[in-house]
Chains A and B, each alone.
Chain A
Amino acid sequence: MAGVALEVTDLVKRYGPRAALDGVSLSAGLGAVTAILGPNGAGKTTLVEICEGFRRQDTGQVRVLGLDPGREGRRLRPLIGVMLQQGGIYPAARPREMLELVAAYYANPLDPAALLRRLGLLEVAGVPCRRLSGGQRQRLSLALAIVGRPAMVFLDEPTTGLDPQARQAAWELISELRRDGVTVILTTHYLEEAERLADRVVIIDRGRVVAQGAPAELTEAGARRRLEFRARPGLDLAGLAAALPSGHVAREVSPGHYVVEGEIGPRVVAEVATWCADRGVLPGDLRIESRSLEDVFLELTGRELRS
């Protein structure tokens, strides 16, 4: 990480008795993609809206590109691009006009026509925005966030409601932003999106950070614990148990479905393969269970990510 783009320390924001953010601390690297992952109502939007300068925290500190969004908004605004979860577009304006308007606020904007083409909006560039589909509006919002050539963009659920093709286009654009050196903060409740795009994932739940790190760090924290395979039912597992390092257990959990539990390293896999070969058995569906971000999330919060 070349430097820190976003530094949040002990952030607290209450709405009445409910704490939307309950002591959040996190950091995001300059030029990296950081995904803020959490279920609906976890506090993601509140968090980014404080970073964007829309809301003020009750206590705690925020530094965005070294600036305090609450006090130094005027200096910060030209540096960041913002994609709201919804709204921000005149319903009677046309996408081309809207993008050209926002481009005119900036010193070195991207070419609006090229951006419209790139996001598949050229055919609807002259249609009033109120007649755009949800996905088209979403893509226009994304274009509005980046047209000013910002150093840093905040994307609040950028692909919610997009069809798979449009989601792919948005992902490519986000990857290209990263490649070109733009810092990206995105919120999402799609694991796939975080796993695929993010250099760093921050998982928040009920206003608290429950984990943060690179996706691989998070999923590999804790060793892999389980190996499974299928073979003909009723094999005698005594020999296998003897061959495995101590502490490992081999069981036939249902007829023909075998499970080895314990720390699964390359030696263990070799022993299982050898044991099968000695019996002339080909292990089918052999798999070493790896944790997904979803498993990590479930372990940390006891909740499904998508509710």
Chain B
Amino acid sequence: MEARGVLAPAPGSAPALRRVAAQAAMELRLQLRNGEQLLLTLAIPILVLVVFSVAPVLGVRDRVAFLLPGVIGLAVMSTAFTGQAIATGFDRRHGVLKRLGATPLGRSGLILGKTAAMLGVEAIQVVVLGLVALGLGWRPHGSVAGALLLILLGTAAFSGLGLLLAGLLRAEATLAAANLVYLVLLVVGGVVFPVSDLPAAVRGPAELLPITALTDGLRAALGEGGLPARDLVELAVWAVLGAGLASATFRWE
């Protein structure tokens, strides 16, 4: 019997946890390496937090305490919706979804890895924004658990919608649309300006948006504390809607 060569078959999958962990680490590195993505996920939220905390343009008493929940909401949206939609569009364009979906990682492993990376980016965003807010004089209060629950539900809602967008449009169109939506929701979603200040015609629809539910809920959770039931339900509805529509329209290649 001749010696087995180095290339001799020895097929088999690694344990699921190792596959998903490797995928998550890769996706996380790629997101942190992407300059345009970092602009949306970190630079703009930090800038908004700092500028509107320092400049007395908002008619609220504690500006940092008002802005931090807003920019956390913005940060979650930028990662779960904007970043997710754009990355997915281009991953499909580059055949990555097709290729990696056909390895032992599988499609479910790919989605789990992407989700874990997304939560990793959000953790970095929340910590960085929290530290900046502390530097601006913010004192933590309210319910951290409530805030985390809102962030998770918000992530579910936004990533479903992000995947829906990526499923409907080509990569370039997804890029444009996701950035446009980011900008519009930044203005009307209660990130910087209270929704109650919006003109009546815009206010009704704006109150139904997932970004409004998220910023509004975070403001309640990090303010007086407790669980803002209405916002949680709204986000849950968006999450179910987004996931359902995304799975019906999603294309792997």
A binds B: yes
Q: Which residues of B sit under 8 angstroms from A74, Cβ to Cβ?
A: 106
Q: A177-B7, A180-B7 are in contact. Are A78 and B13 (CB under 8 A)?
A: yes
Q: What does the 1/0 interface line of A73-111 toward B look like (CB < 8 Å)?
A: 110011110101011111111000100111011111010
Q: Is A39 an interface residue (CB 8 A)?
A: no
Contact A90 B11, CB 8 Å, known A74-B106, A97-B26, A105-B22: no
Answer whether A87 and B98 are a contact pair too, CB < 8 Å, given A102-B103, A105-B105, A106-B12.
yes
Contact of A106 among B11, B26, B30 (CB under 8 A): B11
Q: Which residues of B contact A38 (CB under 8 A)?
A: none
Q: Which of A86, A150, A180 is within 8 Å of B4, CB to CB?
A: A180
- CB pair A148–B7 under 8 Å, yes or no, is no
**Residue of chain B at shortest CB distance from A148:** B11
Identify which of B88-96, B131-139, B200-208 touches chain A.
Answer: B88-96
Known A78-B13, A87-B95, A87-B98: A105·B103 in contact at CB below 8 Å:
yes
Q: Are B98 and A149 in contact (CB under 8 A)?
A: no
A108 partner residues in chain B, CB cutoff 8 A:
10-12
Q: Among A104, A144, A150, which residue has its beta carbon within 8 angstroms of that of B19?
A: A104
Residue interface mask A200-233, B partner, CB < 8 A = 1: 0000000000000000000000000000000000
Shortest beta-carbon distance from B113 to chain A in Å: 10
The proximity string for B residues 211-253 relative to A, scoring 1 for CB distances below 8 Å and 0 otherwise, is: 0000000000000000000000000000000000000000001
When the two chains form their complex, are residues A88 and B99 in contact, meaning their CB atoms are under 8 A apart? Answer: yes
Chain A min CB distance to B83 (Å): 13
**Which B residues are in CB contact (< 8 Å) with A78?**
11-13, 104
Q: Which residues of the other chain, A, contact B96 by a CB distance below 8 angstroms?
A: 87-90
The CA of A152 and the CA of B98, in the complex, are separated in Å by: 19
Q: Is the CB of A149 within 8 A of B8?
A: yes
Q: Distance (Å) between the CB of B158 and the closest chain A CB?
A: 22
Q: Across the interface, do A86 and B106 meet the contact criterion of CB distance under 8 Å?
A: no
| Cβ < 8 Å to B, chain A residues 122-154 | 144, 146, 148-152
Q: Are B12 and A88 in contact (CB under 8 A)?
A: no
What are 9 A-B contacts with C-beta separation under 8 Å? A77-B13, A89-B94, A104-B21, A105-B19, A105-B104, A149-B10, A176-B7, A177-B7, A181-B4
Residues of B whose CB lies within 8 Å of any CB of A are 4-14, 18-19, 21-23, 26, 29-30, 33-34, 90-91, 94-96, 98-100, 102-106, 253
Known: A97-B26, A114-B6. 5 other contacts (CB 8 A): A82-B99, A84-B98, A86-B95, A100-B22, A106-B11
Interface residues of A, Cβ cutoff 8 Å to B: 52-54, 73-74, 77-80, 82, 84, 86-93, 97, 100-102, 104-108, 110, 114, 144, 146, 148-152, 176-177, 179-182
